[in-house]
């Protein structure tokens, strides 16, 4: 009993001692880490500022060359250039050049970069030396800019004198600015070297602290840990058995999840297939109704209008008064316009040439009639097409896709030329409708009626292509035109 109490007391003392040692060790490491990070971050901040100053000093040299280039081009009448471009460039860089120069010279915060330029005595001397050269160039460049604005780019003697002063000082400025850049770079490298020495010192101190902790803290801890290993080994076997049971349960859950996902996919695919069947029925019914209405317009109303026109033509207009003749002529013209409109409606509903001669002839006639009605240039090419009849549904689908894409191009592209190509390649029918108009962005979240109509047209084309086993791809972007590509697998006509 006494041995057990002593053992418990000893373990308690060891635990408390290890706790105190750990706290002491961690506190020491934390102090050195915080101190070291603070010192390094402070030095890095200064180094970033120094790198920015080197960059600004180097830009001063580049900006001086741009100023001289712009001045030379503005005062040169031997080349035909748009001088307004270089004048605007000069207006832009002169204030920046001056701001950087004064910021470097005065050691103030650069307004646009948030960089503090703390200069050494040597840099102050070098910047004071370059200051009059800078202002010789800056003041004369400003004077030339203002004179050119007043004289509308006419070069007089005062401008030539100012130009000569700029050219006399430009090379000296670059030489001195190179020395300033070199001095900034030298001082920055010295700071880096100092930072490296600081980091080496912190590393050495940290290694010493870790060595002491290893001897006075971790070494006793190892002894204590060894005593707990046996307990951990026993618990490991128990944990392994529990993990195996959990793995079996997890595998069962994954299998159930996969079966559920599979069932959901099958259900979704069934819904998609049902929707496709419904859409196909709707489209087929729509095409049949279009065909019926087209025939009724052509055979019924069209024949009546033609008979009415012939009746008018058989009337002897010579016996009519001038007013009656005018009315008679207007009536004939109106009948002809009505006949033409009925023909257009009948053609748009279901052109007879599509069922009689095939999709290539129908598309060609569509382009001719649309060009005549809109005044646009519509080019149809079928050089890679082998004249053959296709499945009825394929021909109707291709015609409707082309009709929809052509109507969209006429409404929204704002161009005068549209190209339609029909071809056959590797057993695939390829149809393209291309315009180089304003295009559109399909990812925009605008809700205008115009874009809604475009989306509906695109959906119709995609749905029709899918119904006949193909797809539609639309390549477009604002200002880059619109290209509609349809690819349909070749199908031979069904004999009914």
pLDDT one-digit tens code per residue, 264-284: 888 777 765 565 555 555 555
Q: Note whether 20 and 144 are same-domain residues.
A: yes
Q: What CATH number does the domain containing 405 carry?
A: 3.30.565.10
pLDDT digits (tens, 9 = 90+) for 89-123: 988 999 989 888 888 888 765 555 556 667 888 98
Q: Per residue in 167-224, pLDDT tens?
A: 889 899 999 989 988 988 888 888 888 878 877 887 788 788 777 777 776 666 667 6
Q: Of 213, 235, 257, which closes a domain?
A: 235
| pLDDT for 429 beyond 60 | yes
pLDDT of residue 485: 92
**Residues 356-367: what's their mean pLDDT?**
87
Instruction: Please check whether residue 24 lies inside any domain of the structure.
Output: yes
> Tens of pLDDT along 248-266?
888 888 888 888 888 788 8
State the DSSP code for 108: P
Q: Per DSSP, what are the bridge partners of residue 430?
A: 423, 487
* Confidence (pLDDT) at 133: 92
Q: Both 357 and 216 in a single domain?
A: no
**Is 264 among the domain residues?**
no
Please tell me the least confidently modeled range out of 39-53, 200-214, 353-367.
39-53
Q: Which residue has the higher pLDDT, 161 or 347?
A: 161
C-beta separation of 65 from 89 below 8 A? no
Query: Is 189 part of any domain?
Result: yes
Its pTM stands at 0.39
Asked whether residue 109 is domain-assigned, the answer is: yes
For the cut 90, the answer to whether the pLDDT of residue 5 exceeds it is no
258 in a structural domain: no
Spatial separation of the C-alpha atoms in residues 375 and 494, rounded to whole Å:
38
Residue 206 resides in a domain: yes
Cβ-count burial of 430 within 10 angstroms (0-12 exposed, 13-18 middle, 19+ buried)? middle
Residue 417 pLDDT class (50, 70, 90 cuts): very high
Is 21 domain-assigned? yes
Residue 14 has pLDDT above 80, yes or no: no
Q: Which domain holds residue 475?
A: 351-489
**pLDDT score at 273:** 59
Q: Please say whether the beta carbons of 359 and 388 come within 8 A.
A: no
Question: In the listed set 174, 205, 235, which residue is the last one of a domain according to the structure?
Answer: 235
**308 close to 345: Cβ distance less than 8 angstroms:** no
The answer as to whether 332 is a domain residue is no
Say how many domains are in the chain.
2
Q: What is the structure's pLDDT at 496?
A: 44
Q: What was the pLDDT predicted at 227?
A: 72
Q: Look at 409 and 233; give whichever has higher pLDDT.
A: 409
**CA within 13 Å, CB half, 436:** 4
Does 357 lie in the same domain as 229? no
Strands of 167-243, DSSP E: none
Whether the CB-CB separation of 382 and 421 falls below 8 Å is answered with yes
401 — pLDDT class (breaks 50, 70, 90): very high
Select from 201, 216, 235 the last residue of a domain.
235
pLDDT recorded at residue 495: 40
pLDDT at 378: 93
Closest-CA residue to 311 (of 335, 277, 343): 335
Does residue 56 share a domain with residue 191?
yes
Comparing CA positions, the residue from 468, 393, 477 lying closest to residue 428 is 468
Are residues 355 and 224 part of one domain?
A: no
The per-residue DSSP string of 272-295 comes to HHHHHHHHHHHHHHHHHHHHHHHH
My answer on whether 174 and 32 are in the same domain is yes
3-state secondary structure of 377: strand
The DSSP secondary structure of 390-437, one letter per residue, reads --HHHHHHHHHHHHHHHHHHHHHS--SEEEEEEEEETTEEEEEEEE-S
What sign does the dihedral 203-204-206-210 (CA atoms) show? positive
Contact status, residue 406 vs residue 378, Cβ threshold 8 Å: yes
Burial class of residue 258, CB neighbours in 10 A (0-12, 13-18, 19+):
exposed
Q: What is the mean pLDDT of the chain?
A: 77
């Amino acid at each position: 009993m006494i041995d057990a109490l002593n053992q418990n007391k000893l373990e308690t003392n060891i635990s408390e001692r290890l706790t105190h040692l750990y706290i002491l060790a961690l506190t020491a490491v934390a102090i050195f880490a915080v101190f070291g990070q603070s010192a390094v971050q402070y030095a890095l901040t200064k180094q970033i500022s120094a790198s920015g100053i080197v960059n600004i000093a180097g830009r001063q040299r580049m900006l001086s060359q741009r100023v001289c280039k712009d001045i030379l081009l503005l005062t040169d009448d031997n080349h035909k250039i748009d001088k307004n471009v270089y004048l605007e460039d000069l207006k832009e860089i002169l204030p920046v050049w001056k701001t950087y120069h004064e910021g470097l010279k005065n050691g103030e915060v650069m307004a646009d970069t948030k960089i503090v330029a703390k200069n050494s005595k040597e840099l102050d001397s070098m910047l004071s030396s370059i200051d009059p050269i800078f202002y010789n160039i800056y003041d004369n460049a400003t004077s030339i800019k203002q004179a050119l604005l007043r004289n509308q780019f006419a070069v007089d003697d005062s401008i030539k004198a100012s130009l000569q002063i700029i050219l006399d000082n430009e090379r000296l400025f670059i030489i001195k600015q190179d020395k300033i850049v070199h001095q900034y770079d030298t001082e920055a490298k010295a700071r880096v070297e100092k930072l490296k020495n600081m980091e080496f010192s912190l590393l050495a101190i940290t290694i010493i602290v870790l060595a002491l902790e290893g001897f006075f803290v971790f070494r006793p801890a190892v002894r204590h840990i060894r005593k707990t290993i046996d307990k951990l080994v026993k618990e490991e076997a128990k944990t392994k058995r529990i993990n195996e049971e959990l793995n079996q349960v997890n595998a069962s859950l994954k299998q159930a999840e996969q079966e559920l996902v599979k069932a959901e996919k099958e259900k979704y695919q069934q819904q998609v297939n049902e929707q496709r069947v419904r859409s196909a029925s709707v489209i087929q019914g729509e095409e049949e109704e279009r065909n019926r209405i087209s025939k009724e317009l052509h055979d019924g109303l069209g024949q009546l209008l033609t008979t009415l026109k012939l009746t008018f033509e058989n009337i002897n207009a010579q016996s009519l008064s001038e007013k009656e003749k005018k009315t008679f002529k207007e009536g004939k013209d109106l009948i002809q316009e009505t006949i033409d409109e009925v023909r257009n409606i009948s053609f748009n509903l279901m052109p007879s040439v599509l069922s009689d001669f095939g999709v290539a002839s129908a598309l060609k006639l569509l382009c001719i009639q649309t060009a005549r009605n809109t005044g646009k240039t519509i080019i149809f090419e079928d050089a890679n097409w082998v004249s053959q009849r296709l499945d009825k549904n394929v021909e109707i689908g291709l015609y409707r896709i082309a009709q929809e894409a052509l109507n969209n191009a006429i409404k929204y592209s704002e161009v005068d030329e549209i190209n339609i190509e029909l071809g056959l390649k590797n057993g695939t029918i390829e149809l393209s409708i291309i315009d180089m108009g304003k295009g559109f962005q399909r990812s925009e979240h605008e809700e205008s009626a115009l874009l809604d109509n475009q989306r509906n047209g695109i959906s119709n084309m995609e749905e029709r292509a899918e119904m006949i086993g193909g797809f539609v791809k639309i390549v477009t972007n604002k200002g880059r035109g619109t290209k509609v590509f349809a690819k349909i697998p070749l199908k031979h006509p069904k004999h009914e």
